[in-house]
Amino acid sequence: MNMIVNFNQQNVEIIKQQEWERKPIFSCSTIPEEIQNDMKGKSLPENAQIDTKDLAYVTVSYYGFDEKLHQGEIVVHQKLGEEVVEIFRELYEKKYPIEKVERIDQYDANDVKSMEANNSSGFCYRLVEGTNRLSNHAKGCAIDINPLQNPQIKNGIVYPSVSEKFANRENREKGMIEKGDAVYQAFIKRGWKWGGEWKNPDYQHFEKEI
């Protein structure tokens, strides 16, 4: 019986994969109630000065590092929702490799855990590290892409620390962002800024003022 169950589960996964390849999924909506409940106490703490009505729930299809199609979800400001759909659709069409696209709630809103898992994420109500200033992630106006391959380097220190080997941008690796590439162009031409061009570069980070 177990062999039959496992075989059926495998078939279901194959069918899902085939469905995504035939018809990739891209959508933007208000945040479903079950997602809101999952965000509370994680990416949306009680003291948050933003409401879920100001945010959008975006689902996207993307190609992983395994070159297979995957389905992801990301939360951003509602004014940027449709634009983020366009960005990820463009990256999907170019088969740009992204390892994971999951809400940071899957990591208890712990940015380090999310980065170390190489998760690309958006909204998280938090401060800029080492300051009392709200991050643009807290406004839903920032997205991090492939953070493991694209660390932040601040005063010579690499964040996350497990990304030391990616600090040298001359050593090209899958998922590393560089000026002029597909992910750079997809964001920049829509008015986003890239942290990789800052004095203390944050290569994973894109943000936009609204």
- Quote the mean pLDDT of the chain: 92
- Using the Cα atoms of residue 21, residue 23, residue 26 and residue 27 in order, give the sign of their dihedral: negative
* pLDDT score at 129: 76
Q: What is the mean pLDDT of residues 82-95?
A: 98
DSSP 122-166: -----BPTTSSSBPGGGGT-EEE-STTTS-EEETTEEESGGGGGG
Whether 63 contacts 100, CB under 8 Å: no
Per-domain boundaries in the chain: 2-207
- Report helix, strand or coil for 208: coil
> For 101, which DSSP code?
E
Contact call for residues 77 and 54 (beta carbons, < 8 A): yes
At residue 7, the pLDDT reads 47
Q: Locate tokens 């589960």: which residue?
A: 9
| pLDDT, tens digit, 9 for 90 and up, residues 174-209 | 999 999 999 999 999 999 999 999 999 999 999 999
pTM check: above 0.75: yes
